Amino acid sequence: MSSRYIVRDILKHIASTLNPHIPRAPREAQLLLMHHLGVDELWILTNQQELVKDVDKLLELVQRRAKNEPLEYITGKVSFYSQEFFISKGALIPRPETELLIDEVLKRIDDKSSSMTVAEVGVGSGIISIMLAKFLPNAKIIAVDISEAALEIAKKNIQKFKVEDRIELRLGSLLEPIDEPIDYLVSNPPYIADDAQLESNLSYEPQNALFGGAVGDEMIKKLLDEALRRNINSFSCEMGYDQKDKILTYLKDKTFSKLEFYKDYSSFERGFTLRL
C-alpha cells in the first residue's frame, strides 16, 4: 500500500532525506513536490493539510536527487535567460554564464533585423540558437552537434519556442556539415581537460559536452582555425577561466582585426570574440 502523507509532513520528510546529501534541502523538497503535483509555490503554502497523491513515485524522485542527480534532469526543466527550456540527460544543463555569450553576440550586431547566417557548433539543448533566433528576427541559424541525443532535445525546444522555420539542425562535427558562407559563428564547446577531477553531479552530464581533449582547449583551437580559414567575420566563444593566455599564444601569428575577451559573473575570464 502507498504511504499516506499530507503536504506539510512530506516536505519535512523529503528535506530530512535530502539534508545530508545536498545543500538547500527544504527548498529542493518544495521544488520536487511542486514538480510532482504540477502546482506552484502559492498552492504549496495554502494547501499544507492536503493529502499528497502517488507518494511512492515522488519518493523515487527524492532518491534520485539524494544520489546527486541534478534537479533539472529530474524535473525535465531548466531556466535560462528567463525562459523555461526542456532538458534531459542527453544534453548539458545550460549554465547561467552562457547568457553572457548571447549578450556578446548581440552587442556586436548593430542592425538586429539584418538578414544573416549564424552558425552554432555544439547546440546541445538549443538555448543559444533559440535565444538568438528570438533576438535576430531575420537571421538564418544553422546549429550543429555531434550528438544525436542532444539534437533530439534541441528539436523539442525549437518546437516549444516555435522557431522551426529559423533554426536548422545538422548532425556532424565542427563546421563539416555547413558549406554555405557564415556571417557569425558562435560556440560553447566542451573545454575541460580530459583528466580534470570534477564534482560528482557532473557525472550525470554527457561527457562529450564537458571534455575538450587532453589539454581542454583543442576544440576551441579547431574552431579558431575554421573561422580564419573560412573568413568568418565574427566568432564568439565561451572558454575555460584559464585559457585566455593559450588562445592569445595560438593566435599570435594569425591575421585578424580584433580579439576581445569577456568575464563571467564571478569575474573569471569566460570567453572571447574574434573579428576578422
Site residues (vs ligand SAM, CB under 6 A):
91-92, 94, 98, 121-125, 127-128, 144-147, 150, 173-174, 188-190, 208-209
Nearer to ligand SAM, 98 or 273 (CB): 98
Nearer to ligand SAM, 52 or 94 (CB): 94
Contact 206, 151 (CB under 8 A): no
Which helix or strand (DSSP H or E) is residue 208 part of? helix 207-210
Shortest distance, CB of residue 211 to ligand SAM, whole angstroms?
9
Read off the amino acid at residue 99: E
Contacts with 225 (C-beta within 8 Å, 6 or more apart), sequence order: none
Nearer to ligand SAM, 14 or 121 (CB): 121
Read off the amino acid at residue 57: K
Shortest distance, CB of residue 206 to ligand SAM, whole angstroms?
6
Shortest distance, CB of residue 220 to ligand SAM, whole angstroms?
11
Contacts with 210 (C-beta within 8 Å, 6 or more apart), sequence order: 92, 190, 192, 198, 202
Nearer to ligand SAM, 74 or 178 (CB): 178
Shortest distance, CB of residue 115 to ligand SAM, whole angstroms?
23
Shortest distance, CB of residue 90 to ligand SAM, whole angstroms?
9
Nearer to ligand SAM, 30 or 188 (CB): 188
Radius of gyration of the chain (CA): 21
10 Å CB burial of residue 261 (0-12, 13-18, 19+) is middle
Within 10 A of 110 (CB to CB), how many other CB atoms are there?
Answer: 6
